[in-house]
Structure 1
Amino acid sequence: MSVYQNSAKKKIRGIDDIIQFIDSQPNIAGKAGIIWWLALGGLFLDAFSNSALSAGLNPMTRDLQLSATEIALLTSFSSWVAIVFNPVGGWIADRWGRVTPLILAKMSAVVGALLVTFSPDFSIIITGRFFVGIAYGMDFAVAMAMLAEFTPARLKSRLNTWQGVWYVAVCLNLVLALLFYSWHVGDTIWRYSIAVTALCGIIILLLQMRYLVESPVWLARKSRLAEAINALQKIYGDRFSLAPTAEQIPVTGEARKGIKNVLLIFRGVYLPRTILASVVQICQSIQYFGVGWYLPVISASLFGKNFVYATLGSLFFNIFGVIGGFLSPLIGRRLGLRRSSAIGFAIAFLVLLTLGMYSDTMPLWASLTVPALFILFHSGGPGANGKSLSSLSFRSELRAGANGIVGALGAIGAALGLFIFPLFREQYGLQTTFLIMSVVPLVASIVCFVITWDPTRTTIQPDNEPGAPQFGNNTDSSLTPGVQETARGTK
C-alpha cells in the first residue's frame, strides 16, 4: 500500500506535524521510552566511568605512588580531552545524525576502561583516560540533544533526570568499592571498579546498537522527510503517511553552513541564552568536579583515613545527589531552570563558605549535614540545568552543536575543578580551598538572577522570533508561521 494513499494514517507534511505528534504523546513510553532511557544510559556510563576513578583515587594514589601533580593530571585529563570532543561530537550529530556519535562514544569508553584496568604504568592510564574523554565529550553533547527531540513539550523538564541517573552511577560505584574492599584486594581495588565500567560499556553499546533509532525531528529538519517517517514508524508503529509533494511544507531558514552554524548561537536572541547556559555549565562543573567529585577524599579528611568510613561518608553525601537529581525535573517545572539554578548556586556558596570557616570545628552531625546540603541543592538545581538549558534553547540543526560548545566550556570548568582542587588543597589546606571555591557559585548565582531567559517560561519559538539569526536560502529572521519548529524551544 502506498504511503501516499492510506487516509487512516497521520499525514506528515513537514517538521511541524512530527513535533505536534511527539508533543501530543501523554508520556514517553514504548520504543520511544526505550530510546530515551538508552540515551540516558550513555550518560550513566559517563558518570560511572568518572566516579569509578573517584572512588578508588586514594588507593590508586598509594598503589602508584602518585604526586599531587600526577593526581591533578590524571583526574582532569579526560575533561581536557572532552573540551575538544564536545563540539566535535555536536558537529557530527548535527551533520550526520544522533546515533553514529553515540555508538562511537560507547566504543571509545570501553577501550578507555580496558586500557586503564590493565595498565602497567601511569602513561597507559593517561592513554585510557584520553579515550574516556572522547566518550564523555561526545556523549553529553549528543545524548541531551536526542533526549530533547524525543520529549513532549510539557515534559521538557524531564531532561533534568540525567542528574539523578548520574548520582545513581556514583552511588553504585561506591557500593561496589565496598564490595571489592571486602575481597581484600588491597590498593588495587581501583582496577576492579574500572573493570566494571568496561562491562557496563559493552552492555550499553550492544543495547544502543540494537534499539536506537535516528531522531525524526533531526531528519525532518534536514529535509529528509521520508526517512523521518520511516523513523517514526519504527518508534511509534505504522501510523504515518507521507503527504503528496504539493502538500509538503519545506523547511525554511535551515542552517547549511556546516561548522559556521556555531556562530549563530553567539548572535541575536541566542547570545544571552548561550551566556546563561555556558555560565551555569562552567560554574556547576567547577563546583562539582572541584568539590563533589572529591567527596571520598573530603570524607577521609572529615572522618578519618579508614577506607570503609570514608566511602560510607561519601555514599551518604551522594544519596542526596540522587534525591536532588530526581527532584530536579519537578523543581525545574515549579521554579524554572534559571531560578532553580540561581537559588542552587546561592546555597552552594553559603555551604562552601561554612565549610571554609568551620569544617575543622563542626560537630559530627554538621559534618554530615553541610556537605549533604551542597550535593542536594547542586543536583536539584544548577547541576542538571546547564545541559538542559542548552538543549532547550536552540533549534534542531543547531542543538547538538550548541550542546557541544556549551559542553566544551563546561569541560573546561570540570578540568579546572579537577586540576586545581588537589593542588590548592596541598598548598592552602582544605578550608582555604573551600573559601576560594565559594567564589564560583556566588558569581554564577548573580548571572542567573540578571539574565532572564528561561526556555520553560516562554512561548517564543526559537526559529521565528525576531532577531533569531539564520543561515540558508532564507535569511529573513521573521519566518512564516507553521514551517518552523515549535514547542517553545523544545524541538
Structure 2
Amino acid sequence: MSTTSSLPSPTPAEAASGPVPIRSAADVSDLVNSGTASGKHARMIVIIALGGIFLDAYDLSSLAYGLPDITKQFGLSPTMAGVVTASISVGSLIGALVGGWLVDRIGRYRVFMANMLFFVVTALVCAVAQDAWTLIGARFVMGIGVGMDIPVAIAFLAEFSRLRGKGSKGSRTAAWSPAWYAATSGCYLVIMALYFLLPDAHLGWLWRFTVGFGAIPALVVLLLRRRYMNESPTWAADQGDLEGAAGILRQSYGVEAYVPDDVEGKTERPRRPGLASYARLFKGPYRTRTIQSVVVGVAETFGYNAVAFGLPIIIATLMTQGPLTTIASSFTLNLVFALTGGLLGIRWASTKGAWPMMSLGFAIQLVAITVLALIGQPSGTAFVTAGILMLGAFMFAQGFGPGAHIMSYASLGFPTSMRGVSIGFNQAVLRLGSTLTLFFFPILSTGLGTGVYWVILGAPVLGLIALLVKRWEPVGFDADAEERELRAGV
C-alpha cells in the first residue's frame, strides 16, 4: 500500500455531495483533518472519551478528603498513609506503559472497552475494604485502569477531530482538562452531599460511599461505549485496513467512503508494533518533543498533585479550617477556578496555541505559590481569604495552561502509528512523579508546615525553563503528514 495519496484528497463539498474514494491512509487522515468527516456519531465518541477522563479524575481524587478518616480507622502511620494515597499512581504508571503500547498494537477500541471493568470492580472493593492492604491493592488495580484509559481517550480525542478551527485536535485534546476538573468538582459535591446525609456517628464512612459511587458513572460509560464506540479510522488505515477505515467513516461520520477496485492491498497484514516502538520516541524529530513533553508534564503533575489533591490537607491543616469549610472550599476552587480555566483553555487552544497558554499558566502559578509561601500560616480572615484566592489563581492557571496542554505536547506532535506509546510513556513518567508527590506530600506538609510551599514553587519554575529552552507549538501540526514525508525520504 502506498503511504501517500495518488489522487488529490476530496474537498468538503465533494465529500458532502457523493461517494469519497479512499486510496491510502493519507486520504483517511486528510479527510478527518479537513473537517469533511464530521457527524453526530463521531461527536458522541469524543464525549464518551471525555467520560473516561472524567472517571480517571474522579477515582484519583475520591480519597483526597477521606485520608484522615482512613488513617484513623486503620491506624496508619504517615508513611502508610502515603502508600495508600500513592498506590493508585503506581498502578497507573504500569497501566500507562502497557496501555500505550496496546493502544498502538491492537487498536483504540479494544483497550477502551476493556478497561471500564477496572473502574467498576475496584471501586466496589475499595468501598468495602476492611484493612489497609485490601484498599491499597484495589487502588493499585484501579490505577492500572486509569493508566490504560488516558492514552486511548486522548488518542480518540485527537483522531476524531479536525486539524484546525472549531472542534480541532487542539481544542478537543484540551477538553480533557475541564472534564478532569468537572470530575474533581463532582467528587467534592458527592462528599458534601454525603456530609449532610450521613449521621454524625457515621461520617467516618464518608470516604467509602464516595469511592464506591465511582462504580455508577463507570457502568453508564461502559454501556454507552458498547453502543457508540468505534475504532479510530486513521489507526485502521495506518494498519493497512483501508476497507475497515472506509467502513468506520461510513458508520461514524456518515461519509460515503469506499476503496476503489484498482487499489492494491485493501486489507494488508497489520503492522503490530513491538515494545521497541518506545525507542522511536528518542529518534529523529521526536526526541526533543518527547523530552520537552515529559519535563513540562512532570512540572505540571508535581504542582497539580501537591495543590489540587492536597487541598483538603492545605485548607484543614495549614489554614486550620473545619471540615465543612474544607469541603466547600475544595469544591469551589475546583468548580469556579479550575473548571472555568479549563473551559477557556478549549476556547483559546485553536486561536492562541499551547505554548503561550502553558507559559502564562506557569507564570501565574509561580506568583501564586510565592504569595502563599510569604503568607505562611494565615493569622486572620483576610490572610485566609488571600490564601484561598491564591489557590484559586493556581487552579485557574492550571485549567487553561499546563493542565489543558500537557496532552497537546504528549500527543499532537506524534503520528497515529506512535501516538499511544508517546502518551503512554509520557503518562508513565508523570505517574512516577505523581506517586512520589502523593507519597511525600503528607509527610512534607506534616514536617515542613507552610514551608512546603517553597518546595512546590519548583514546579512552575521547571515548567517555564522547559518551555523557554525551545518554543515548540504542537497545536495545528500535522504529525501524520510529517511521518509520510519521513517515510518517503523527503
TM value normalised by structure 1:
0.89
CA–CA distance in structure 2, aligned partners of residues 85 and 118 of structure 1: 24
Q: Does 1:368 align with 2:388?
A: yes
Q: Is the 8 A contact 1:280 1:385 kept in 2?
A: no
- Which of residues 192, 196, 203 is equivalent to 1:182? 196
- Which of residues 208, 212, 226 is equivalent to 2:229? 212
Q: Which moved more, 1:134-143 or 1:254-263?
A: 254-263
In structure 2, the CA distance between the partners of 1:312 and 1:302, relative to structure 1 (3 Å rule), is: farther
- Which of residues 461, 467, 489 is equivalent to 1:478? 489
Q: Give matches, 1:393-404, under 5 Å.
A: 393-404=413-424
Q: Give matches, 1:44-59, under 5 Å.
A: 44-59=54-69
In structure 2, the CA distance between the partners of 1:303 and 1:290, relative to structure 1 (3 Å rule), is: closer
Q: Is the 8 A contact 2:296 2:462 kept in 1?
A: no
Once the 2 structures are TM-superposed, how far is the Cα of residue 249 of structure 1 from its aligned partner? 9.2
Any idea what SS the aligned residue of 2:434 has?
helix
Identity %: 29
Alignment partner, residue 437 of structure 1:
456
Once the 2 structures are TM-superposed, how far is the Cα of residue 61 of structure 1 from its aligned partner? 2.8
Q: What letter corresponds to residue 327 of structure 1 in structure 2?
A: L
In structure 2, the CA distance between the partners of 1:449 and 1:331, relative to structure 1 (3 Å rule), is: farther
Q: What letter corresponds to residue 312 of structure 1 in structure 2?
A: A
In structure 2, the CA distance between the partners of 1:401 and 1:291, relative to structure 1 (3 Å rule), is: same
Alignment partner, residue 326 of structure 1:
343
Q: Give matches, 1:428-467, under 5 Å.
A: 428-429=448-449, 431-456=450-475, 458=477, 461-464=481-484
Any idea what SS the aligned residue of 2:230 has?
coil
Any idea what SS the aligned residue of 1:455 has?
coil
Cα-to-partner distance string for 1:411-470 (whole Å, 9 max, x where unaligned):
1121121111111112211x21110111122011111111122122656743145xx5xx
Q: What letter corresponds to residue 170 of structure 2 in structure 1?
A: S
Alignment partner, residue 135 of structure 1:
145
TM value normalised by structure 2:
0.89
Once the 2 structures are TM-superposed, how far is the Cα of residue 299 of structure 1 from its aligned partner? 1.7
CA–CA distance in structure 2, aligned partners of residues 28 and 433 of structure 1: 48
Structure 1 regions of 5+ residues with no counterpart?
Answer: 1-6, 469-475, 480-491
Alignment partner, residue 335 of structure 1:
352
- Which of residues 151, 155, 166 is equivalent to 1:145? 155
Alignment partner, residue 13 of structure 2:
none
Q: Does 1:9 align with 2:25?
A: no
Matched residue pairs, number?
462
In structure 2, the CA distance between the partners of 1:102 and 1:53, relative to structure 1 (3 Å rule), is: same
CA–CA distance in structure 1, aligned partners of residues 396 and 376 of structure 2: 18
Q: Is the 8 A contact 1:60 1:188 kept in 2?
A: no
Q: Does 1:269 align with 2:279?
A: no
Alignment partner, residue 208 of structure 2:
191
CA–CA distance in structure 2, aligned partners of residues 246 and 21 of structure 1: 18
Structure 2 regions of 5+ residues with no counterpart?
Answer: 1-16
CA–CA distance in structure 2, aligned partners of residues 457 and 92 of structure 1: 26
Q: What letter corresponds to residue 111 of structure 1 in structure 2?
A: V
In structure 2, the CA distance between the partners of 1:269 and 1:108, relative to structure 1 (3 Å rule), is: same
CA–CA distance in structure 2, aligned partners of residues 69 and 29 of structure 1: 51
In structure 2, the CA distance between the partners of 1:246 and 1:25, relative to structure 1 (3 Å rule), is: closer
Q: Does 1:114 align with 2:124?
A: yes
Any idea what SS the aligned residue of 2:214 has?
helix
Any idea what SS the aligned residue of 2:64 has?
helix
Q: Is the 8 A contact 2:151 2:424 kept in 1?
A: yes
CA–CA distance in structure 1, aligned partners of residues 233 and 37 of structure 2: 17
Q: Which runs of 4+ in 1 moved over 4 A?
A: 26-29, 247-251, 254-257, 457-460
Q: Is the 8 A contact 1:255 1:397 kept in 2?
A: no
Any idea what SS the aligned residue of 1:207 has?
helix
RMSD, aligned α-carbons = 2.3
Q: What letter corresponds to residue 296 of structure 1 in structure 2?
A: P
